[in-house]
A and B are shown apart, each in its own frame.
Chain A
Amino acid sequence: MANRVAIVGVGQTHHTAHRPDVNQVELMNEAVRAALRDADLSIKDVDAFLMGNMELFEGSYLVDMWAVDGIGSYMKPGAKITSGGTTGASLAIAAFEYAASGLFDIVLAVGFEKQEEGNTQAGIVAGSDPLWGRWIFTSSLGIFARTALEYMRRTGAREEHAAMLRVKADRCACRNPYAHLKLNLTMEDVLNSRMLVYPLRFLDMCPVSNGACALIVASEAVARRISDKPVWVADWVTVHDLEGSLMGAMPDVRTHEIAAAELYKRNQITDVRRDIDVAEIYEPSSWGELEWYELYHFCERGEAWKLAEKGTTDMEGEFPVNPSGGVVSTNPIGATAMIRIAEAALQVRGDAGTHQVTREVRTALATGWGGSDWTTMVLLKKSL
């Protein structure tokens, strides 16, 4: 790697279903100002900017042009990134790379989505090939339903196991002041919620959220000078597969396994639950969380449901996963994958407040996933 970099500021809005009181640019501005406050920096200190969302979801275009006022990039360099579910992580990773290049000392990245203002479903289905997959495409629902059924068949997992993780996520969200859905769910609530695409129920899926998240990244020398608690970015990996409907079968997200193998090898991680203290993973459904524990090697193949039964990944558990409440609780899409990194950074700093995990955090993992089958993984550390 080139220069080492650290996260020196994080900020996010309260995520919610309705924000009629701000426009999109003002929403971004809230997160940017929160990150600057957190880093104790002025906008004048920032050398370069990255911003992004899923433009088609709001039906807008050239959002990077509008954003200049709200994110503070006036007369400064930067770019927009749009990469589906991974948008927020792609922005963060680009910020790491800008800062690591030596060309910029302080870089600000902001991702947002104001889903209530557009048509997310139309945006997602437009991601399928018009002449091959689009006629049958059922968006994320169909993909997760098919993999969930296959997962149950292969491992013996039951609907209850996904529901356990959904209840866990809600317990965490209820302790996170920024989370969107805080429902005080019981197992019965989840298992009796409306069936969408078998076996996916309404409460298994991520919500439609409005919100923004911002990160400030600094090169090593600057981070050491300006920050009391820099969170070091130890490593990151991005892996892309072919377009999903063209791949046909998708029983597993291969990119998760490939990215995890690369990240763990490069960082001498041989026992994930021992070598990493907390994970913030991008789980668009509670079924995704269950299935992906295995692809990220949080456990052996076919045994993720045992982690759910034992509460291993609870906030107070041996290996906490998504103490923020995760994506099933909060999903402003262009910000979602960045929230994973921001929340992981807060855990490393010990600044997650009411949802700080009980286990001491020295190393944290944040993942991203986007359609179809793009994986990002970021490894954060308290000290280098």
Chain B
Amino acid sequence: MGEGNGSEELLAVSYTLDLPFRYAAGPFLSRFYRELKEKGRLVANTCPQCGRLLFPPMIVCGRCHVRATEEFVELSATGTVLDYTVVLQPIQDPTTGKMREERYPHATILLDDGVSFTHRLKETDLAKLRAGMRVEGVFRDQGERQGHMTDILYFRTVED
């Protein structure tokens, strides 16, 4: 393995980096979060070439590489669970660097308008989760919303 002299003391320095960052949302994503905060709704813009909804809203379609429209459409907050899992071990929260609380279910949710994203589920019992189940977003009340994805608390099961 190593080729050094094992009899000498080897030094190692430990240190912690704590650096501030800033990330600009740009006009399209800013609009998305403004609609979420002020009106409690999800919106998307579209690609004029392939017609797909851009979710998150963006200035350019990544597939066609053309400038996207600036008209926004409201999306339904109901959808279908495509895939899901439950996180059982503490895992680092990338927004804070701290460990998250244990056990939270999350899923890929296909909204009825045909776009998908990852969000939390209210149901924590794996036995009650299944791909294809119908869910709807539960929004925080006006005044509590901050223009962040957690303005949607979670998606709850809709009985068929």
Contacts and interface: CB of A to CB of B under 8 A. Distances in A.
Contact of B131 (A121, A132, A149, A250): A149
Q: Give the bracket for the number of chain A residues in contact with chain B.
A: 35 or more
B29 A132 contact: yes
A134 B108 contact: no
B82 A194 contact: no
Q: Give the bracket for the number of chain B residues in contact with chain A.
A: 35 or more
Contacts of A134: 94-95
A2 interface: no
A171 B33 CA distance: 51
A20 B10 contact: yes
Contacts of B37: none
A248 interface: yes
B86 A16 contact: no
A22 B97 CA distance: 28
Interface of B is mostly: loop
A135 B85 contact: no
A132 to B, nearest CB: 5
B25 A249 contact: no
Contacts of B85: 142, 145-146, 149, 197-198
B94 A149 contact: no
A249 B94 contact: no
Contact of A149 (B25, B84, B95, B118): B84
A122 B120 CA distance: 21
B17 interface: yes
A126 B96 CA distance: 11
B116 A248 contact: yes
A269 interface: no
B89 A194 contact: yes
A19 B1 CA distance: 9
B94 A196 contact: no
Interface in A228-265: 242, 245-251
A131 interface: yes
Contact of B118 (A125, A126, A130, A248): A248
A195 interface: yes
Contact of A136 (B33, B97, B118): B118
Interface in B5-28: 6, 10, 12, 17, 21, 23, 25
A21 interface: yes
A356 interface: no
B83 A146 contact: yes
A135 B88 contact: no
Nearest to B109: A248
Contacts of A16: 1
A142 B83 CA distance: 10
A122 B94 contact: yes
Given A21-B4, A136-B120, A196 B89 contact: yes
Residue among B1, B25, B131, B149 having the largest count of chain A Cβ atoms under 10 Å: B1
Interface in A186-213: 194-198
A83 interface: no
B77 to A, nearest CB: 15
A147 B83 contact: yes
B116 A21 contact: no
A133 interface: yes
A142 B87 contact: yes
Contact of A198 (B33, B63, B88, B118): B88
A190 B120 CA distance: 29
B34 interface: no
B119 interface: yes
Contacts of B76: none
A138 interface: yes
Interface in A134-182: 134-139, 141-142, 145-147, 149-150, 153
Interface in B53-81: 55-56, 62-63
A201 B93 CA distance: 20
B50 interface: no
A59 interface: yes
B49 interface: no
Interface of B: 1-4, 6, 10, 12, 17, 21, 23, 25, 29, 33, 55-56, 62-63, 82-89, 91-95, 97, 106-108, 110, 115-120, 126, 131, 148-150
16 contacts: A20-B10, A21-B10, A22-B3, A121-B92, A130-B21, A130-B95, A134-B94, A139-B91, A146-B108, A147-B83, A150-B131, A196-B89, A197-B85, A242-B62, A249-B110, A251-B108
Interface of A: 14, 16, 19-22, 30, 59, 121-122, 125-126, 128-139, 141-142, 145-147, 149-150, 153, 194-198, 242, 245-251
Given A121-B92, A197-B89, 19 more contacts: A21-B1, A21-B4, A22-B3, A122-B92, A125-B92, A136-B120, A137-B94, A138-B87, A146-B84, A146-B107, A195-B89, A245-B118, A246-B62, A248-B115, A248-B116, A248-B117, A249-B83, A251-B82, A251-B108
Q: What are the 5 closest A-B residue pairs judged by CB atoms, nearest first? A: A248-B116, A125-B94, A21-B2, A145-B85, A146-B83
